[in-house]
């Protein structure tokens, strides 16, 4: 089965590595608008072959879009002439706008998905063979995908050892705003607030594990996350407002020296890790 991967960064490169463990089943063709990424992907053995044009990728049995969310929508408009048996999978981090903007003529070809995994790194050198192993793969609006396409996508997800979860696109975006998108906004804000107050030497000398963990995702690609914030604007604003309310409550309890109340507030927050 020929797999065309459009976008050879962390997500696409990691997918290529995972599928290349099954060389008798999958042949990987990579495509990226960045020629340096294409060369790196070949050197790192993330793909079997590089395509210089989208037209060649259109002939693949499966096309996987591992590119920013706005680019997924734009690229979908260029795939209207694929075979009726072609399976198109997108890995976008927001789902509703992508689902709404897929041309109707190829809606059955599409399986809209979101792997709940990643790192703050990007580019082909960031690829990790086990990135998807034992991670949740959310499949949205499965009833809008063709039976053949859905079956092929699920088999591929099983082969990379992902755990498939089904969800409505709007529901996904509400949850993702709290669990993924808002934490990125918080991390960027934390990094900005510290950089405005502290000199680099002090940050380097005093930053411990807690700060490094909370600020790690502020290293994530601004190009990718600007697109995600734009597409999921309404849900993201709701989640930021909820976070701000809790932070303001914390500030008020400290100002008013309500230490017992603050202690209980922290204890309740501890229970999150009973779930995780």
Question: For the chain, which residues make up each domain, given as ranges?
Answer: 2-167, 172-275
What confidence score (pLDDT) does residue 274 get?
81
What confidence score (pLDDT) does residue 216 get?
87
The Cβ of residue 238 has, within 10 Å, a number of other Cβ atoms equal to: 15
**How many helices, marked H, and strands, marked E, lie in the chain?**
14, 8
Alpha-carbon distance 198 to 188, whole Å?
A: 15
Q: Tens digit of pLDDT per residue, the chain (276 long)? A: 999 999 999 999 999 999 999 999 999 999 999 999 999 999 999 999 999 899 999 999 999 999 999 999 999 999 999 999 999 999 999 999 999 999 999 999 999 999 999 887 889 999 999 999 999 999 999 999 999 999 999 999 999 999 999 999 999 999 999 999 999 999 999 999 988 888 877 887 777 778 888 888 898 889 889 999 999 999 999 999 999 999 999 999 999 999 999 999 999 999 988 876
Architecture category of domain 172-275 in CATH: Orthogonal Bundle (1.10)
What confidence score (pLDDT) does residue 214 get?
84
The alpha carbon of 135 is separated from its chain's Cα centroid by a whole number of angstroms, namely 12
Fold held by 2-167: Rossmann fold (3.40.50)
| 2-167 shares its CATH topology with 172-275 | no
Cite the DSSP H helix spans in the chain: 10-19, 35-43, 54-57, 69-76, 96-100, 147-159, 169-176, 182-197, 200-206, 209-215, 222-231, 233-255, 259-270, 272-275
pTM for the full predicted model: 0.87
The answer to whether 118 touches 11, Cβ cutoff 8 Å, is yes
Alpha-carbon distance 114 to 255, whole Å?
A: 42
């Amino acid at each position: 089965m020929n797999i065309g991967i459009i976008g050879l960064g962390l997500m696409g490169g990691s997918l290529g590595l995972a599928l290349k463990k099954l060389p008798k089943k999958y042949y990987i063709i990579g495509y990226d608008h960045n020629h340096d990424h294409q060369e790196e992907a070949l050197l790192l053995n993330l793909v079997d072959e590089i395509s210089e044009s989208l037209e060649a990728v259109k002939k693949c049995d499966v096309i996987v879009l591992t590119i920013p969310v706005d680019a997924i929508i734009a690229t979908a408009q260029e795939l209207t002439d694929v075979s009726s048996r072609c399976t198109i999978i997108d890995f976008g981090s927001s789902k509703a706008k992508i689902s709404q903007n897929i041309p109707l003529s190829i809606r059955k070809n599409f399986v809209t998905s979101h792997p709940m995994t990643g790192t703050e790194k990007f580019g082909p050198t960031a690829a990790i063979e086990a990135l998807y192993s034992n991670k949740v793969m959310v499949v949205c609006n499965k009833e809008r995908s063709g039976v053949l396409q859905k079956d092929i996508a699920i088999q591929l997800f099983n082969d990379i050892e992902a755990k498939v979860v089904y969800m409505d696109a709007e529901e996904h975006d509400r949850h993702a705003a709290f669990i993924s998108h808002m934490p990125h906004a918080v991390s960027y804000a934390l990094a900005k607030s510290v950089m405005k107050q502290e000199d680099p030497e002090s940050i380097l000398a005093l930053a411990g594990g807690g700060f490094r963990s909370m600020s790690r995702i502020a290293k994530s690609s601004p190009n990718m996350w600007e697109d995600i914030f734009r597409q999921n604007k309404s849900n993201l604003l709701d989640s930021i407002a909820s976070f701000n309310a809790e932070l303001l409550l914390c500030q008020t309890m400290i100002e008013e020296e309500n230490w017992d109340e603050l202690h209980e507030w922290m204890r309740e927050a501890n229970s999150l890790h009973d779930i995780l």
